[in-house]
Amino acid sequence: MWLYLRTAPALRRVWLRPTVFQATRGRGVKVYFSMAEARPSYEDIQKISDFLLSKTKHRPKIAVICGSGLGGLADVVEDQNAIDYTEIPNFPRSTVPGHKGRMVFGLLAGKTVVCMQGRFHPYEGYPLWKVALPVRVFKLMGIETLFVTNAAGALNSSFNVGDIMLMKDHISMPGLAGDNPLKGHNEDRFGPRFPAVSDAYNSELRQLARDIGKELGFESFMQEGVYVQVGGPSYETIAECKLLRMLGGDCVGMSTVPEVIAARHCGIRVFGMSLVTNMVVMDYDAKVTVNHEEVLETGKRRAQDMQKLVSKMIGQL
């Protein structure tokens, strides 16, 4: 993009780069500009994919994104190659406790997988396209099925802490406010300009989860419902929780939806589940508050059950 500056005695032309830069004229007169970070091209994302594949012998068809306190699933991956996010060129960094920040390749239930131990969130300062960037990398690596997990607060009063909710749909509050990971130029090689997401969460995978949950004796704490994504990092007010429940939400969290939208855009089928780590506060007289440590502790207690469920599902794909 060219910017024209009216400076005596002539009109000066400078090139706007997608970073902070300066234009200098005469004796060190500087004019500073700042633009939003440029989105990577299809070729840039291909380079990230090629880099990761060059670091491992594994060629996964299944990817798992682990939520807060749920990264232990990646620790049980066998014959693994782990790559820190800091080693991956042009890749975001995870800054949240409970997210190790590693890409783990290996075998889970006899199937080749890649697990993200740590995801990215808008409240870390990342735009939604960057939150969803790993999914596009997965697509170019050959991923066909994506498992997404998260820690969430229960809006539905019939849920209990420790329940596992199979995601059948979502409400994107950022999306309703005009923000979306697909906003901006559409790369047709990933998918169409206007993708449908009414079938975002694969019904066959949900049925498989219900069947396996029954086999494992998980029926008493397995639920199904609608996940609401909010921006964070502050937890929801009582009024906001009441509104989200009226809208049809069963659980609320600060992640997952951008990755799901990007996955469906490029034809990856999705299975999502939330671990209920707390009941949201709905009573103005309540003395209870929500904190991240509680989220992590609940994740530890239910981690084994979630690992069993995901492992058995992957083994049957």
DSSP type of residue 280: P
Give the Cα separation of 289 and 278 in Å (integer).
Answer: 10
Residue tagged active-site, from 254, 263, 306, 313: 254
Residue 119, marked binder: yes
Residue 158, marked binder: no
Residue 219, marked binder: no
The conformational region for residue 100 under phi > 0 = left, psi -120 to 50 = alpha, else beta, is alpha
Residue 120, marked binder: yes
Residue tagged active-site, from 151, 200, 279, 306: 151
Active site residue 124: yes
Structure tokens given for 118: 């740590």
Active site residue 278: yes
Active site residue 202: no
Contact 240, 210 (CB under 8 A): no
C-beta atoms surrounding 135 within 10 Å:
27
Active site residue 220: no
Residue tagged active-site, from 74, 82, 103, 121: 121
Active site residue 58: no
Residue tagged active-site, from 58, 63, 68, 167: 68
Residue 236, marked binder: yes
Active site residue 170: no
Residue 33, marked binder: no
Contact 277, 299 (CB under 8 A): yes
Residue tagged active-site, from 144, 187, 202, 292: 292
C-beta atoms surrounding 251 within 10 Å:
28
Contact 182, 261 (CB under 8 A): yes
Comparing CA positions, the residue from 35, 103, 108, 33 lying closest to residue 307 is: 108
Active site residue 254: yes
Residue 151, marked binder: yes
Residue 265, marked binder: no
Q: Cα angle vertex 298, ends 93, 160, to 5°? A: 125
Residue 291, marked binder: no
Residue tagged active-site, from 150, 156, 180, 255: 255
Active site residue 121: yes
Active site residue 265: no
Known binding-site residues for a purine D-ribonucleoside equal 236, 278
Known binding-site residues for phosphate equal 68, 99, 119-121, 151, 255
Which of the residues are catalytic? 68, 99, 121, 123-124, 151, 254-255, 278, 292
Known binding-site residues equal 68, 99, 119-121, 151, 236, 255, 278
